[in-house]
Each structure stands twice: as structure tokens, then as C-alpha cells.
Structure 1
Amino acid sequence: MPVGVTVSSVENVNVTSGVGVTINTVTGGAGFSGLTALKTTGVGAANVTAAATTSVNVITSEHAATAVAVNGGQNVSVVATGTTTGTIAVGGTTAPVGTVTVAETISGAGNLTGGAIDIKGGTVVSSTTTATNSDLFGTTVTQGTVNIVGTTTTTAATVKQSATVAATGLTNVTETALVQWQNFVSPGSQTVGGVTVTSTGPAAAADVAAVAAGGTVTGLTRTSVPTPLWTVGTASSTGQTKFTSTTANSNVTDIVVGVTVTDPATAPTAVITPGTSSAAETAIVTWRAFTQAGTQTAGGFTVTSTGPATAAQVASVAGGGTVTGLTRTVPGTALWTVSTATGSTNTFTSVSATSNVDDIVLSAAFPTNVDPAAATLVQGQAQTAGDAGVTAGDVNITDVNAASTTAAGTITTATLENFGAATVNSGALTTLNLAGTGTSVNAGTLGALTTAANTALAVNLNGVTTSGAVTIDNDIVTLNIAGNTAASKVASLVAGGAKTLNVSGSSAVEVTAATVGVLEAINVTNTAGATFGSALATGVTFTGGAGADTITLTTGFKKAITMGGGNDTVNYGGAAATGGSVVAGDGNDTIVMSGGDAATASGTIAFNNTFSGFEVLKLSALAGNTINLAGINGVNSVSAGGATGAGVINGYTSGGTLTLTANANGGSYAANILNAALSGSDVFNINLSKSTLLAAGTVTVADVETINISAADAASKGSAAAINTLTLAATAAKTINVSGNNGLNLTNSNTAVTKFDASGVIANGTADTTANLAVTFTSANTTAAAAVSITGGAGDDVLTGNDAIDTIVGGAGADKLAGGAGNDVISGDAGNDAITGNAGRDVLTGGAGVDSFRYGLKAENVSATAANVDQITDFVAGTDKITFVVTGNAGAGAILDGITFASGANLGTNAVVLGTAISSATTVNSIEDVYVAMGVSLAALTGSNGGGTATVAQVINFANGAAAGSYLVINDADIGFQGLDDLVINITGITGTLASSDFSFI
């Protein structure tokens, strides 16, 4: 506007520009009378000055690296987008009145640090930065520092920034090759990556590597191509060097290795006298010396050397002599005779006495004297996309009277959401709100008043996590922390003047470390729980809330500790002093102790006199300690983080629990139930709780009839299933139940067990494979008349019976099921199962899936009295298999006499020949009748081939009698059926028609 022009009666002015905006409505040649609202919309920089009666709204796009400055005005709003390193300043020369709101959007593409935001003045001040990074290759956009300085009217300051995101990206990889050079045994060269090492004779690999790396060794030289593609590192004593590509961060063509050899000797030479009609042809052959292993041949006579040899020695052997390391090979039909040696020569005379024959043939052959160098490659790789990094900037909030010893401050509330290193300084501060992720908050100096205006401070934690300390001024005597919105975690709390710490709210609060030297009391009303990582001083009282609170005590504590409701945890620091006591309160409360502390505390009445209400004892580890649970409040649940010795836990009652969370590391556990020997129905629970494989070691439980084992992740839905291991010594146990979402390899020697049930093992996530849900159990019950039940779960179980009458059910998964000596009932249920009846008359059912019915040792499957005839109830021809286990079952143990089956890689040479089924009208009321009838009907049954290539199988169907049905006979090498030697299987349920292809060998 022209100089001297005054605009009046205009309340609203809107300025729009395609470039930056500069406007001063107070001075500068133009005057505005009555202006109440000023709005500018531009691109890039902005410089706006307005009167205290004019509201200001500055909008700028493509802010980039330019500066935005606003001075004066009331209720100032700045919106800047497309920012990179540009700055924003409000109130630099003239502070605004009313509210101040700044909103900045940083659009980064790589590593950059945003410009500062400086605000001075305003009543309620708010700064919001939104940052993005479009570069996905490990770079970071750092939001600029925000500085807020109040005036006498400023009461609240809020700074919000985008959350920190760690920059990630695959590390650049430059291709390398770890090269193993080889020994030289004669002259030659080795070349790797354009570097050639040439030898004039024998040389060790270590010397070759040293020369390749630039060293000097007599007899070895190094040459290189003019423009190397690789650099060579130092040599190792074992003959290795590391080659690094000169092209960084790229998958280059693999390094080239090669070898050339100088022949250590040439072929022999000969002086030939041609034959005539009256004289045989002759050749005087001069042999060469050997410098290494090889051969020389003349006229079909070959001299082979295992190493160096002189020419005279070669000639001697060629003429029929003997020299160590040299041998002579004579042709099958010799065309020449050889004389004894004369020096290094022999005279060869043609066997054709009167003709001019073909000249003698001379040759030499030498194996390569060095293998090509071996290279282990690490392929190069350019960095690939990862996560673009964003980091919150630092924050400084300073009251106008921060440095005054007499003037009161005005900023009562500071709010931070996502921040770097933050500083808040106001003597009037009563509320500090924290959210998001932050580095640290320094509120350690709240003004400089001689007498502090405030001695209490509310710190509201709204889902905040800090990596550093939250420091509070020593003038704050009462610190009120509230957790809301989401769980919060403060890495360190420094409140040197706080005497009372109150924790409220509905979201969990965790203070990992605390420096609170004069603290007297902690009062928790938080309903989600408060956790304090640092040990409470001996003079601090604690009153817990309804949530799950966690504290650590110090030995000799002398105040009352009341945990309240919730499942609380108290970390034991030592015995209480006079006045010290702990009341665990409601909930399932845990006392955490070392094995040694627990052993000591449980030995006297002192612990129970000062600690009460605990239900769980958590041990960091057991180191050969003996603990009496009656002395630890009579808890009936113990958790142990491993054992380095033989730990003994006495005083359990029936229904007690031992939870194992870490590998045993060579230790063991003995859990003893009080008066268990006087009851016949005791129960004990063993929990295996670890996110990865747990090697639990040995757990001994005496005089307990039922053992429940849970193999579950530490979390409700944790990592992929793993197969835990446990040795259980529970000689009185009759029932073992297994559940959870992990597999279990159970070592069992408990002979009284009649029921093993792992049907409770199921997956709780897609990562839980049937292979890792597998349960392995072998019955130890050898009582022949006992009835034993064994049930699998959802995994690929391995379940094995013993001498009892076993009923085995595999459940889901590809199970391996095997009976013992008894008459067992085995069912695969779902899955592709492998079922072995072993000895006894077993009933086998495959169930759904592709099943294999397996037969191995003769003693377990063949019997003259029909004692081992199994029954298959559901064979599906073309799907299921009758499988002969021949690998390792040779000789006397082979399933069929006189037959030697191929094994290993030759299994495919085994074969079964199945004849046409035979029908018999003979009445058979028992399996013994069947054997008699088959002896008649199958008297001429062809014997099987002794080499296993044509094993004869025959089906015979009996129509009459109680034992009627279909029987499969596998004949041995002898003609006719003989119960003593032939395998018989009763197939009562078959789908389809049995064929030779339904048999297999493993």
C-alpha cells in the first residue's frame, strides 16, 4: 500500500500470495484502523506484524527452509506445511496476547533436522509438529527444538510431536570371499580374483596366502591384474585370506579361482632301431625323474610313483627291479621285452623278430599338483527398504519469572507428547502431563523463589515411556502420579524432596528406578497396579491398591507394608527389623526370594511373624536348597527359575504346583506333599512355562497318585510351540495328564502308571506345528494283567506301551504308536500314523489318514501258537500300507526265516508277490483252528525269494466259525504255511482289494 495511506472501518483483511508474505499492519507506511482479524495465505516465508487487538492466522505451504515470523497480535495461529529445516518464531520482538497455536508439518526425505519453533508470550500456548520421512533406507528426520517462554499472562504450554520411530534398513553388504589357498608340491600357479601366486617348487598354503596378501617368500611371486576387482586382506596361519570387492554394497560376479601346473616331468624318450627281415626292432628308452606322484609308460609297461624318484630308479623298476614308492604294471599282451636297467635306460625289444613294427609308444601322466583355491562367499547386497526414522525434538518451557527470587511464576500446566530432552521451569507449575515416547524431562528447577509457591505436583502419565529420567524439583514434597489412558513406564524418577508419593489412576504405572532419598510413604490407589524397580528404603511405608503392585524391600525394613488387593509381588530383600511387617492382602500374591533366602527364612518362625498372606513363592533359582513351605506362609505354589543343585521343597499339600521357567542346568527338584503316604488320592501340578524350549530336568514327587503337567507358553499366546523335556520320578503315580500348547518329551520310569492322557495338548496359534506339539511317552508298567491307557494330543506323538494290556490312541497328528508284549488295542485316530503292535494279539486301527502298519522282529510278530496274530480293523487298499521294518533287522532277528531283505539305499529291490485270495469252508472257532486250517490249505504255498525280491503273500478267507474272516499270510523261504515261521495278520475291515503295492519296506 502507498505510504501514508490509512485504512479504517475494515475489520477483516485476507492476504493471499503465490510467494512469501510480509505485512505490518501497525507501522511501515500503512495504517489499519479498527482491524480485528488478519489472515495470510502464502508460499514459503512469512513475516507478519499486527496490533494486540488483531487476531492473526498465518498459513504457509512449501515452508521448506524458509522462516516464519509473527510479532504482536492476539490469538495467533500459524499453520506451516511442507517444512524441512524452516523456522517459526512467534513473539520474537513483540509478544502476542491471547492464545498461541502453532501447527507444523515436516515432510522429510532422508536425514534432516527441522528448524526451531520459538514462542514467546500468549496465554495458552500449543505447538504441534507432525513429521514424516519418505526415505525408507535407515535415515532419520529429527523434529526441531521447541522453545516456549511465557509472559505474565501465560498459564499453560503444550508441545506435541510425532512419535519416535527407529530407523531400520538392511545393512549394506560388500561382497567378500574367504579364500583357502592350497599347498604346492611342484611348480605352478594359483589365481584368485586377479591375484596370481606362482611357485617354482613345493610351497605351503600359509606361505602362498602370505604372498597373496603382499608378503615375500623365497620361490613364490605375486602378480595382479592392472585394475583389481578385489582387495586382499591379511593372511592367516592356516593359509586363508579375505578378498573384498572394490564395488561396495552390490552383489557382484562371484570371485574366480583357478590353477595351472608346470608338468613335473615329461614323457620318456627313445632311440629306435627299426626292425628288418632278419632283426627285431629295438628302442633304447630313457626315463625321466619324478618330482611328484605320477606315471611314465613305454611300450605298455607303466611305472607308477607315489612321490619323487630318480630316472635310474624308474629304469630299475621298469626292468623288473624293486624300489620303494615305485611299482611296475605289465600289459596283458606284451609287444616288447624289457632289459634290465643301464643307468636311466632300458632296451625294449619287439616280440616280432623279423619285421619293422610300429614305433614304441611313450607317455606320462601326473595328477594336478594343487587343487583350486576354495572360496567361501558372502554375497554383496545393496541396502533395501526398511523403516523411515523419525525422532522427537527437544523441548524447553520457561516461565517469565523462572529466574526471579520474588516474583511468582504463571505457567501452571505443561503438557508433553513425544519429546526428546525436555526442560520445564516454572515456580507455579502444579500439573505436568506426559504422553507418548520421550527421552527425559527435567523439572528439577521449578523457579527460583526463595520460598517455593508449590510443594505438590501432579504428574499425569498418559501412556508414556521414557528412556531417561523424569526429574522433579526438591521443593516438591508431595508427588501425585496418575496413570491413565494406557500403561506407562518411566525409566528413572528423581524426586529428591518428595516425602509422599501417591499413585492413582486406572492404567498401570512402572518406575524402573527411583532416587527418592527422603521418601517416607508410597500410597497406591491405582486400579491397574504400580511397579517400583528400586528397593524401598527401610523407613518407607507402602500402601497398595486394587491392582497388581510390585515392590522390592530392603533388609532390615522397619515400616508397615500393606499390599492391598490384586495379584501383588514383593521382592524379598531380607528379614524385617523391629516395626517392619508385610501384609500381602487379597489376591494371589507372590513373594520372590533366592533359594538360599527361602531356605533360611523357612527354617524359623520369624518370616511368618512379619510376612503374611502370600500364596506363591517365586525362586530365582535353587542351588541344593531345602525349603519348608510351612515357614513361607504355607504357600502351595512355587515357581523356580532353574536349579543348579538338588533342590528340595517340603510342605506342599495335595493340589500344589511347581512352575519351572528356566532350564534346570544340571539341577533337580524334589516336591514333597505333607502326609502324602497316608492318602491315596493326592494331586500335584507341574507347569513348564517358557516361551522357548524348556529343559526342565528331573522332578521327583513321592507318594502322589495324579500328576498334571502343563507345557504352555509363558504368555497366553506366545511364540511357536517347542518340545520341552522333563524326567518325572513319581513311583506312586497312577495317572499323568499333559496339557498346554507345547510338546513334551517325558522320560518316564514310573511303573504304576495306568493312565497317560495328553489330549489337552493343542495349538494356540498358527505357528504351533504338529511336529513341535509332539508328546513322547513310553509306559514303564510291566504288570502283564494291568490295563494301561495312553492317549496323545494334537501333535506328532510317539507313544509306546510295555508288557501290560495297553490301549493307545494317537489323536491328531502323524503319530508313531507301538504296543508292548501285551494284547494291545492301538488306534491312530486322525493323521498319517505309523502303528506297531509288537508282541501279543493286538487290535490295530489306523483311523483317518494314510496309515502304516509295521512289522519288524520275528520274535514280536511270529509265533507257532498264534500268540502274535494282530488284527487290522480298517485297512484302506491303495492308501494304507503294511510295512516291513527291515533296516537293522537282519540275521536271527529278521522277521522271516531264510530271507535277507535289502536295506538302506536298496530298499526298492524288495517286493511282495500277492496271490489270488483263497476261500475256505473249514469251520474255525479260534485262532488255533485257523493255524491248523492254513497248514492244510496253504501246504503248497510258494516260498519267498531269499533275496527279498519276491516275498510271497497270500490272503485266505474263512467263511465259517467264530474266528471266520480274512487272514493275510506272509510266507518265509520255505514252501507251505508254518506257524513257527510265517507272519499272519487278521484283516477284519478292508476297503478295496489288497494288492502288492499295499506293501512297503523301510
Structure 2
Amino acid sequence: MMAIPQSSIIALSLMYTKLPPSASDLTFWATPPGNAISFNEAVQAFSTSSAAKAAYPMLASPIVLSQNAAARRDYVTQAFQNLYGIAATAINAEELTYWADTYLLSSPQAIFDFPVVLNQFSPASRQQALTNRAQVAENFAVALAATGSSTFTSAQYSSGWGIVNTVTADAATVTAANAQIAQFVAGGGGGGGQTFVFTTALDNLPGTPGNDTFNGDNSGGLAQQTVQLGDVANGGDGTDTFNYFGPTDNVLPQLSNIENVNLIQGSGNNAGGTNTAAFDFSAAAGKGLKSVTVDTLVLGAATTTTTIQGIGGVGLTLKGNFNNNNLTANFGNSATEAQIATNAVNKGGTLTVQGNKLTTLNFTATGSSTFTKLVTTPVDAGAVNTIKVSGDGKSLSFSDNVAVANSIKTIDASGLTAGGLTVAFGTGITSFKGGKGDDIVRSNNLTTTTDSAVDAGEGTKDRLIVNTTADVNTTARANVYANFEVLQSTDQTVDLDLFAKSPFVALRSAGASVFNNVTATQAGDVTIFANATPTFNLKTATGTSDTLNITVSDGLEAVNNLTITNPTAPNVEILKFTTTDNTIVTTLLNAPSASTITATGAGTFNLTTGARELGTGFSIDASAVTANVTIDASAGNVNGAIIKGASSSPAAVNTLSGSNQNDGITGGSGSDLLRGNRGQDTLTGGAGVDQFIYGGGFANNKGTANVDRIADFVAGVGGDQFKFATGADQFLNGLNFTANATVNINTAQTIATAANIDDVFAGITAITASTNATLQTVLVTVSAGLAAGTYLYANNGTGAVSNADDFLVNVSGITGTLSVTPTTGNFIFENFA
């Protein structure tokens, strides 16, 4: 079945109701289910409508009035006027008699069909009048829709009919009517309305039939205060709005017929100098007020509290940046439910909701909103017991650490179609339903032990924060919580085996938390979100590749410093760190099996192994970190370490210290500091100006056992540097260098062949003995043999060459010519441990 033509619908509406249809009205007839209605069904609908009964007394009481000749004649003359603009005196007497005394008495249905039948049997010249009226009515609907009024107020219907009723079959009347439409819209009747501005004088502002806006600005202080208690604003018809700018100091005009109030950039720092303020809407609430919006609370010298009261039955919307200021909403003496919309509230302080009889809070969320806590303080004996949350918001947070009132038993956030709710439980919770997104819930010592009483729902990262160990220390208590994927603890002990209803896949830890029976999946996704001394006891730890993946992030925008103190992971062989925040790992003493450590991320990475055994192949690889890296394996024992610093960012500086065994240490593309300590270490500086550090006592640097190999030394001014320790015996025995010490490079030497380091020492010709003022060195080239290469030799305070006391380093990868220029050359002396 095809939809009834729009022109026919408009004509029926004019015939029967004297109401020019709005764009919304016409949309109904063009879309399901309206477009499935037949013409005869439409006639029946219009003729029996309340509007038709108001337009025609005959249709209101057809049985009684159809028996009255005068009433029938009135019905006919009214139809002629409404359809064609023809007055009663202009109707042909014979035709009037026929319709009144013959047709209307022909059947009961004839009374309802009469306007349609009249038009069907009218001459074309008369029908033209109805066609013209329908066209003007359509023009009226289009013009108002363009201003945002797709639905009409009663005043707009009335004004529209007033224009349509001037139209006849004469084309000139159509032109004149269209001009009236334009004038009506320009005057604000089209819904756009007018904007009224309060002045410093007392104002009495009457609105138009359209959607008016009233603006009052008290932000300039008393001298420029435009909104006063004596001001009057009457919105009239339409949907009207009062915008108030300035301090929330209880100054309201006398409002009536104004549906919406916006309090914008309010501040409790009002003229009286206090940090509390209030608006009382009791009077306006009884005169058409439907919603109050608090849009942004100004950052002041101190936290402020703004109170909105007298809003029983009025919707409250909160939006914008609250700058940590507090808001109290008082819903009065009779309301049992409160309607509160949250629209991207940033830095919301304490939200206090009051009401003598309030039992239910209904929140509608848009965007992401955060409050430091939710307080439901009764004005007298009332107590809120239910919270419902709906909307398409990404998140709504009432704080994850400050509990809601113990009187609250039910929290239902299942109406959140995209986001989740953050809430800390009081002890009274017996039912919780999460949203479609990720909820965050802090546990409490609940009275209920019903399985799945707290159901996080459909999110993929729903988080349960364990408030105290006792909340979840039995199977019954743990299984209250269902469908959570992330478990968080600060200083608590949690047995993950107790949770049969929540398939945890990730852990969050702070403080001295202990996690027992950790699965491989859970160990694969751990977040340290604050300073921590955590313990992770694996449920199953077999083989040599048990892995703990740790992301270090407090979740804040700024990059902060977080310290992991001696993490306990007794059976973990692989530790992986992601450094979103700057990360400090103080020691690995309580992770004795960890032998493969990797790090990646944009935060700095600082790790100390502590005095523990370094297993065979022990490695620390921070090459994927893009910030500074500090690794200290100096206390590690038994085996050496393979250490790699950040390599992907030239700005990253690596400070890498090996053990007292044979280490492999590799820097990156920045300017690094490499220190092998004792042992025969292999050092690779990489790009950048690198420093190779020798100190910490002569025992670290002397003789065959401590000959390092530097793979890529860049010689010359501005190149890599040897950094030797100042102080007595700090670099070589018997020498006490200062920062002003110099280096002398003696004539280079060549050794034909050497099979080992001792052979190299044996082949060196003695040079001048070093003094406290000058370190004597020489470059030695070994041409052949297993020890072939280039070496830098330095003697101690005696001239004889000693493989037990002198310094030797393999610099076979050297490029350029060594420079002894102070500060910028290749040798510097410095005081360091």
C-alpha cells in the first residue's frame, strides 16, 4: 500500500482540525506505521480526533446534535469557512439546505465524512481554495522546521492556522500568507525565538511564542551585576532557556515558563567572600522549569561548594570542568527519585545528593565523567538505596577508593550501552550489574555471599579492586564477584584460586601485595601502578621459561617515577618490563631464577641486580627503551652478564655497569657511559660520544684478568673518552690522579705475534713511569697470533711492564687518532666511586 500523498494529509488536517501539520506530524504519515494507513482510515482518525471535536461541536456530540437542524447548519457553515474561507452569508441557500437537511441525515457515517464529501463535489474554483491553503500550510511547516521547530507548540499551531485561514482561491492571498510566514519566523515565532539580555536596571522580559534565550551576566561583580532578585523573565510559549554567568551566589530572577536553566562558569567565591553558595529553584520548578544544567565551575583560590536546591521533579545536568569543586543537589521534600545527567564532567569534586524521600538516583551518562566521591546524605530520615546508570557515556566514576553509603543496596549500570561505572562499595551492596564497557569496583566486607551478586557484565577489562584481604579470603566471598577480568591490590594478599566466577587475565599491583596461585595468563599481564614491593607466586612453575610481563604505569598523563623494591618472583626465569612511567627496580634478590630481563617503553629504566648469582647466559636487554637506561650488575656474582642499553633514540643516555665477571656491554646511539668493572669485558659504545669508565679501585683495572675489549672507540677531539678515576689507588696502584692530570702517548709499538694477553704484556717495551700528574700510555699493535689487535697500555708508577699491575685494553676497533686535549680529547680524569 502506498502512503497517502502529503498534500492530502495536509488537507485532511485543515478540514477537520484547523491545525496546519508540523514536519514531525507529516513524517508520521510518511513512515511506518503511518504510511500503511489507508485514506478511509485516515479520514476516520482525523474525524474522531480530539482536535476535530474541538473544531466542530457536531463531531464532539454527533448523536445529539445531528437531530438539531440549527446545529447541522452550523456544521456546514463551519466547514465552508475552514475548507475555503467562505463565509456563511456567501453560501448558496439551496446547497446549504441540501447538506444540512439531506446529506447529514442520510447515515450516521455521513456526519464524519462530510468535509471530504463536500470537497469532492465542489467546483474546481472552490477546491482551489483548499489547495492553496494546503500549500501555505506546507510552507509554514517547512519554514519552522528550518529554524529547528519540527514539532509545534500550541501557540505555533494557532499562529499557523491564523495565517492559513486568510487564504482563499485567489493567488494573491497565497502571496500575502507567505509574507506573514516570513514575518512570523523573523519575529521568533518559528522556534528560533529571540535573545533577551538582562541589564543593571530591574528588567521585566516577556518572551515570544518561539524558543527564547535570556542571558544574565554577574561575572563582573556587584558594580556590573545584571541579574537581580527583582528581575522578571517570562518565557511564554516555546522551549526557553535562561543562561546565567557568574558566581553561584543565590541571585535568581523571577522565572516563569522557562524550561531550561544553564549555570555557566559559576564560582562559590561570591561577593560575600565565602566559599559556599546556593541556588534555590523552588519557585521556578512550579512554573514550567524542567532542567537545570551546571556547566563548568571556576577554579578559585580554594575549593568551593555550590548547592542547587528546590529541584524536585527537575532534571539536573552536570557538564564541563569542575576544577575539583564540590556540588550539592537537593531534590527537596517529596521527590523519591532524582534524575541526574553527566556530560563529560572533568575534575568533579564531591557530588552530594540530598532529598527527604529520595530512594533512587537515576544517572544518564554522556562522555567520561569523574567525581572524587558520591555522598547520599539524607536531609532527615530518607536514605538512597538504589543507583541506576544508563546512557552512551564512555565512563562514569564515583571514585574507586571512597565508598558509597552503606544504605545503598542496588547498583544497576546495565543501561550503560558503551561504557562502565567506577564505584567503591559500602557494606550494604546486595546487587551490582555492570555496564557494557569496563567497570571498576572496589570490594567491601559485604553482608551477602550470594554467588555472582556482583556481576561486572560484558566488559573485557572489568576491574575488581580488593579493599582488604578479608573481603575475598574465602571461596564464598570471592565468588560474590563475577565476570571481572582484572584484579587489583594494594598491600593485600589474594589467592586467585578462590575466584571461580571471575576469569582474571590481568593483575594490578601496588604496595606489598601478594598474589598466590598466579596462572601463566595472569603473569603475562601485570601492571605496577604505584610504588610496590610485590610478590607473585606462580600456580605452576615448570621448565625454564616462566614469564612475568610487568607494565609500569600509574595511568596518569604525566610521566612519573615508580619504584619496584625487590620484587618476589621465586620461579620466574623471564622478566619483561614495559616502562610507560620511569621505572626503578632496586634489586632482583628475590627473583633468583630470573636470568632473562628485557625492557621496552618511553619511560626511563633503572635496574640493579643486587648481590645475587647471575645464571649462565644472564642478560638484561633494554635496547627497545627510548629513554635513559641505567643498569648496575656490579654486585652480581658467579657468571657475567650480557647488557644492552637503549639503542633506538639518540637522546637516550645509557649508564651500564657490569659485574666482576666477564660481561658483554653494549650501548646505543646516544652518549653512553660503559663500565665493565672487573673481568675481561667486551664493550661496545655504539654511535654518540661514549665514555669508558675505569675506577673503583685498582683491583678492577690491573693485569691480565681485567683486560677489556672496546669494539668501536672513536678517537680524536670530540670523540669517545676514557674516564679514569681520581684519588689514591682508584685507577692504578700507587697513583693519585687529580682532575688536572694529563696523558702522554708514547711512540707506538709493534709486537710481531702474541698468542694470549700475557704474551702481549711480555712484548711491550717499558715506557716512562706514570706520575700523579701524568699518565704514561702507548698504543701497541700485535700483528699476528690469537691476541692480534691494537691495545692501549698504561703503566703504574714503576717503569717495568707488569701483567699483574699495569693497565691494558684492547681497542682493535679504534678509528682516528687519539687526542690528549683536556676535556674534549679522549682522556679525562674525574672523581667517581
TM-score w.r.t. the length of structure 2 is 0.62
The 8 Å contact of residues 570 and 590 in structure 1, kept in 2 or not, is answered as: yes
The residue correspondences of 1:428-827 to structure 2 (distance < 5 A) are: 429=288, 431-437=290-296, 440=306, 442-444=308-310, 457-463=314-320, 465=322, 467-484=326-343, 491-498=351-358, 500-508=360-368, 512-515=374-377, 517=382, 521-528=386-393, 529-532=395-398, 534-535=404-405, 537-538=407-408, 540=410, 542-544=412-414, 545-546=416-417, 547-558=419-430, 560-577=431-448, 581-587=453-459, 588-598=461-471, 601-608=472-479, 610-619=480-489, 621-622=490-491, 627=495, 630-631=498-499, 633-634=501-502, 635=504, 637-640=506-509, 642-643=511-512, 648-656=514-522, 659-663=527-531, 668-674=533-539, 676-678=540-542, 680-681=544-545, 705-715=546-556, 718-722=557-561, 724-746=563-585, 747-749=587-589, 750-758=591-599, 760-763=600-603, 773-778=604-609, 782=613, 786-791=617-622, 793-801=625-633, 802=636, 803-811=638-646, 813-827=652-666
SS at match of 1:972: coil
Matching of residues 295-306 of structure 1 within 5 Å: none
CA distance in 2, matches of 1:784, 1:499: 63
1:422 is aligned to 2:285: no
C-alpha distance 503-807 of structure 1, shift in aligned 2 (>3 A):
same
Q: 1:127 aligns with which of 214, 234, 238?
A: 214
* 1:1001 corresponds to which of 822, 825, 829: 829
Change in Cα spacing, 1:885 to 1:847, as seen in structure 2 (3 Å) is same
Cα 1:987/1:503, change in 2 over 3 Å: same
1:791 to 1:549, Cα distance in 2 relative to 1, 3 A: closer
Partner of residue 862, structure 1: 702
Q: Report the Cα offset of residue 100 of structure 1.
A: 6.9
Query: Matched residues in 2 for 1:395 and 1:596: separation?
Result: 51
Name stretches of at least 5 consecutive residues in structure 2 with no aligned partner.
1-182, 268-277, 298-304
State the 1:986 CA deviation: 1.9
Of Structure 1 and Structure 2, the greater helix share is in 2
Q: 1:911 maps to which residue?
A: 742
Quote the offset at 1:976 in angstroms. Answer: 3.9
Asked if the contact 1:927/1:963 (under 8 Å) is kept, the reply is yes
- Amino acid of the residue matched to residue 677 of structure 1? A
Cα distance change on mapping 1:140 and 1:468 into 2, 3 Å:
farther
CA contact (8 A) 1:638 1:658 kept: yes
2:767 to 935, 938, 941: 941
Overall identity of the aligned pairs, in %: 24
Q: Could you give the per-residue CA deviations for residues 840-892 of structure 1, whole angstroms, max 9, x where no partner exists? A: 332222222222222234433333xx3332222222222345546444552xx
Residue type of the alignment partner of 2:242: V
Instruction: Provide, for residues 473-515 of structure 1, a one-character-per-residue CA deviation record: whole Å limited to 9, x for no partner.
Output: 4444454444447669583222434555433353345673234
Aligned AA (2:803)? G
Other-structure match for 2:120 = none
Residues paired across the two proteins, number: 589
Question: Could you give the per-residue CA deviations for residues 326-368 of structure 1, whole angstroms, max 9, x where no partner exists?
Answer: xxxxxxxxxxxxxxxxxxxxxxxxxxxxxxxxxxxxxxxxxxx
Q: Partners in 1 of 2:219 and 2:242 — Cα distance?
A: 17
- Which fold has the larger relative contact order, with Cα–Cα distance below 8 Å and residues 6 or more apart in sequence? 1
Alignment of 1:93-492 (within 5 A): 101-103=195-197, 117=203, 119=205, 126-129=213-216, 144-145=227-228, 149=232, 153=236, 157-162=240-245, 391=247, 394-396=250-252, 398=254, 412-418=259-265, 421-424=278-281, 425-427=284-286, 429=288, 431-437=290-296, 440=306, 442-444=308-310, 457-463=314-320, 465=322, 467-484=326-343, 491-492=351-352
Q: Quick one: distance in 2 between partners of 1:679 and 1:126?
A: 73
Q: Is the CA contact (8 Å cut-off) linking 1:886 and 1:901 kept in structure 2? A: no
Residue type of the alignment partner of 1:622: D
Unaligned runs of 5+ in 1: 1-73, 79-97, 106-113, 165-390, 401-409, 447-455, 682-704, 764-772
Q: How far off is 1:434 after superposition?
A: 0.8
Could you tell me whether the CA contact under 8 Å between 1:549 and 1:563 is conserved in 2?
Answer: yes
Task: Give 1:585 deviation, angstroms.
Answer: 0.7
Give the TM-score taking structure 1 as reference length. 0.52
Tell me the distance in 1 between the aligned counterparts of 2:361 and 2:686. 65
Distance in structure 1 (CA, Å) of the matches to 2:670 and 2:803: 34
CA distances 1:20-64 after superposition (whole Å, capped 9, x unpaired)? xxxxxxxxxxxxxxxxxxxxxxxxxxxxxxxxxxxxxxxxxxxxx
Which residue identity does 2:573 align to in structure 1? K
SS in 1 for 2:541: helix
Contact 2:702 2:807 in 1 (8 A): yes
CA 617–796 in structure 1, closer or farther in 2 if over 3 Å, else same: closer
Does structure 2 conserve the Cα–Cα contact (< 8 Å) formed by 1:914 and 1:953? Answer: yes
**Structure 1 residue 788: Cα displacement:** 3.2
Matched, 1:876 2:708: no
Deviation at 1:432, TM superposition (A): 0.7
Secondary structure of the corresponding residue to residue 917 of structure 1? strand
SS in 2 for 1:859: helix
Matches of 1:797 and 1:989, distance apart in 2: 24
- Whichever residue aligns with residue 643 of structure 2, its letter is I
Q: Tell me what 1:450 maps to.
A: none
Provide Cα deviations, 1:438-483, integer angstroms capped at 9, x if missing partner: 664645277xxxxxxxxx5444445485743222244444544444
Shift of 1:970: 1.0
- Alignment CA distance shift 1:974-1:127 (3 Å): same
Offset at residue 988 of structure 1 (A): 0.9
State how far apart, in whole Å, the 2-side matches of 1:895 and 1:441 are.
Answer: 72
Q: Deviations over 1:420-450 (max 9, x none)?
A: 733323335462141413664645277xxxx
Question: Contact 1:155–1:413 at 8 Å: present in 2 too?
Answer: no
Please report how far the alpha carbon of residue 820 of structure 1 lies from its aligned counterpart in structure 2 after TM superposition. Answer: 2.6
Query: 1:35 matched to which residue of 2?
Result: none
Whichever structure has more strand as a proportion of its residues is: 1
What are the Cα deviations for residues 129-148 of structure 1, in whole angstroms up to 9, with x where unaligned?
35776x9xxx9976643655
Q: In terms of Rg, which structure is larger? A: 1
CA distance in 2, matches of 1:418, 1:469: 16
Q: Are the aligned partners of 1:636 and 1:652 in contact in 2 as well (CA < 8 Å)?
A: no
Label 1:711 to 1:152 Cα distance change in 2 as closer, same or farther (>3 A): closer
Offset of 1:826 from its aligned partner? 1.9
Letter in 1 for 2:376: A
Q: Specify the alignment match of 2:140 in structure 1.
A: none
> What is the identity, as a one-letter code, of the residue corresponding to 2:814?
I
Task: Tell me by how many angstroms 1:916 deviates.
Answer: 1.9
SS at match of 2:432: strand
Between 795-804 and 965-974, the greater mean CA deviation after superposition: 795-804
- Whichever residue aligns with residue 511 of structure 2, its letter is G
* 3-state DSSP of counterpart to 2:705: coil
> Contact between 2:365 and 2:396, CA under 8 Å: does it hold in 1?
no
TM-superposed CA distance for 1:591, in Å, is: 3.1
Tell me how far apart the structure 2 counterparts of residues 510 and 748 of structure 1 sit (CA, whole Å): 38
Q: Is this contact kept in 2: 1:142–1:392, CA < 8 A?
A: no
Structure 2 residue matching 1:396: 3-state secondary structure: coil
Q: In structure 1, which of residues 926, 930, 935 is the aligned counterpart of residue 760 of structure 2?
A: 930
Distance, in Å, in 2 between the alignment partners of 1:568 and 1:631 is 18
**Contact map agreement 1:550 1:568 (CA 8 A) in 2:** yes
Alignment CA distance shift 1:566-1:836 (3 Å): same
AA paired with 1:491?
Answer: L
Asked whether the 8 Å contact 1:824–1:843 carries over to 2, the reply is yes
**Deviation per CA, 1:513-554, whole angstroms, max 9, x where unpaired?**
234636565433212144457336355463432321134544
Q: Judging changes above 3 Å, is the alpha-carbon distance between structure 1 residues 576 and 636 closer, same or farther for their aligned structure 2 residues?
A: farther
Q: Whole-Å Cα distance in 1 between the matches of residues 708 and 204 of structure 2? A: 90
Could you tell me which of 781, 792, 814 is aligned with 1:968?
792
Match of 1:831 in 2: 670
SS in 1 for 2:699: helix
Q: Would the alpha carbon gap of residues 472 and 885 (structure 1) be closer, same or farther in structure 2, given more than 3 Å must change?
A: same
Q: Is the 8 A contact 2:769 2:798 kept in 1?
A: yes
